[in-house]
Structure 1
Amino acid sequence: MKQHILFVEDERDLGNVVKQYLELVGFEVTWCLNAHDAFDAYKISKFHMLIVDVQLVDSDGFELVEKIKKLNKNQSFIFLTARNEKNDRLRGLKIGADDYIVKPFDIDELVLRIKNILKRNEPLYVTEEVSATSNELRMGDLIFKKDLLKLFLPNNSSISLTLREAQLLEYMFLHQNRILKRADILLELWGENDYFLGRSLDVFISRLRKALNHSSEVSIQNVYGVGYIFSIAELLKN
């Protein structure tokens, strides 16, 4: 089955070229010229990836994605823009964008970024410590159920995670009790290391820390200027 992309771009010439090229390299593409049609299309179809122009004729691309994320908080998406402004990039990353591409761009680079994101969003490789078929990871006094994207707490309540938070949590768990460099995390989960993605990582670490406050055994410690240590106290005692 082909991976399905919702492409939202109001520039007809650019839209036509990008749609044809993405189809040429094997994607199924639904192209919409405005936010209204894109939202209607999203409600009736499933998409592996969204590519959304920030400046649309009838809406703000940020607002469109925020509406879509209310329907599916784990949706992967890329923003396109003709504006290379820091505030726009930060807003896009805060919404949860997987990438932010400034026009004009190389179409082959766009395809590569799409493929990298889709590949990263597949389940992370599981080491021998955890069965590859297991959807449950036990982390000290916590249980992470990957298929549900839920972290179960000692008091039997649970916290829902976004797909990116779940990927980060699993990666840190599989490399527990050792120093994890920020650059290595960014390259593993985002495919590149830059300032804006680093800010996005800070947000996800903060969210995970908030969830881990419910645990007496699991924590994320800062290693100043280097990265983090995902610690499980129960294992450290052995």
Structure 2
Amino acid sequence: MKKIKLLLVEDEIVLAGVVKETLEAHGFQISLAENGVQGWEQYLSFRPDICVIDIMMPKKDGISLVKDIRAVDEQTPVIFLTAKSETQDVIKGLQTGADDYMKKPFSMEELMLRIRTLLKRTQPNTTPSPAKTNTGIYLLGSYTFDHNRQELRHEKEQVRLSLREADILKMLAERPNVTTHRKNILLELWGDDNFFNARNMDVYISKIRKYLQHDPSVQLINVRGLGYKLVY
């Protein structure tokens, strides 16, 4: 079986060594970079299936690196690592194009779970459930949402969604006019409903709501104390 190629960009040598050793033990092929400049060089030569990137690094920070990656590659999943926990850092990281965000310190079990969750949505050898015959295309008012392509189209405008955005919108689109509980979304997509993951989800929900603002008949409603409802 082909090994999953993971680019790890982390300037903390001890942490990087632990993550690299653990992931290699689980069958991953790891390319390790110590700063954003090396990270960009290794991204171009290594062509990873997924990236795990620290935000605060010398020479070139993680956000700048991901901006460069997203300029040429909108598909490869990216997980940010950071010691910061302020909301603005989360928002900035996600707006750059990251698919997930983890605060240090973290457990390797949680990192492994998040990596595998993202890979399930990008690896072509993932076997779909036989019960799911949906083409992955949803008509939301005047929008066309293609989950497989991670695209939301409205007339001549097309928005490229991140993996998280596409997966959240899919969960809501499959249950129109019905409240989907926050906890269910968090457990399904993140595997944990802790506070930090909930704040991440709120960022994605806000971005999705902005994408849908061109058609007033399509509304992403916050059902206070419960979750979210997509009405169209």
The answer to whether the 8 Å contact 1:89/1:100 transfers is no
2:180 aligned residue: 180
1:9 aligned residue: 10
Q: Does 1:213 align with 2:213?
A: yes
1:28 aligned residue: 29
For the residues of structure 2 that align with 1:89 and 1:147, how far apart are their CA atoms?
Answer: 26
2:224 aligned residue: 224
1:98 aligned residue: 100
For the residues of structure 1 that align with 2:50 and 2:202, how far apart are their CA atoms?
Answer: 24
1:138 aligned residue: 139
The answer to whether the 8 Å contact 2:100/2:164 transfers is no
Shift of 1:90: 5.4
For the residues of structure 2 that align with 1:80 and 1:211, how far apart are their CA atoms?
Answer: 27
* 1:79–1:136 CA distance, 2 compared to 1 (3 A): closer
The answer to whether the 8 Å contact 2:91/2:203 transfers is no
Question: How much is the aligned-residue C-alpha RMSD, in angstroms?
Answer: 3.0
Q: Which protein is bigger by CA-based radius of gyration?
A: 1
The answer to whether the 8 Å contact 1:7/1:29 transfers is yes
1:167 aligned residue: 167
For the residues of structure 1 that align with 2:200 and 2:93, how far apart are their CA atoms?
Answer: 10
Secondary structure (helix, strand or coil) at the match of 1:29 reads strand
For the residues of structure 2 that align with 1:228 and 1:206, how far apart are their CA atoms?
Answer: 11
The answer to whether the 8 Å contact 1:92/1:100 transfers is no
Shift of 1:71: 2.8
* 1:141–1:52 CA distance, 2 compared to 1 (3 A): closer
Structure 1 residue runs of 5 or longer lacking an equivalent are 233-238
1:52 aligned residue: 53
1:235 aligned residue: none
For the residues of structure 2 that align with 1:230 and 1:126, how far apart are their CA atoms?
Answer: 24
Structure 2 residue runs of 5 or longer lacking an equivalent are none
The answer to whether the 8 Å contact 2:85/2:103 transfers is no
- The amino acid across from 2:67 in the alignment is E
Identity among equivalent positions (%) equals 32
Secondary structure (helix, strand or coil) at the match of 2:7 reads strand
Shift of 1:84: 5.0
- The TM-score with structure 2 as length reference comes to 0.80
Runs of 4 or more, structure 1, over 4 Å off, are 87-91, 120-128
Shift of 1:216: 5.0
Cα-to-partner distance string for 1:135-182 (whole Å, 9 max, x where unaligned): 4222343322234322232xx323213222221111101121111122
Secondary structure (helix, strand or coil) at the match of 2:191 reads coil
- The amino acid across from 1:193 in the alignment is D
Cα-to-partner distance string for 1:205-229 (whole Å, 9 max, x where unaligned): 2222223232354322221222221
Shift of 1:64: 2.2
Shift of 1:65: 2.4
Shift of 1:91: 4.3
Q: Does 1:62 align with 2:48?
A: no
- The TM-score with structure 1 as length reference comes to 0.78
Secondary structure (helix, strand or coil) at the match of 1:229 reads strand
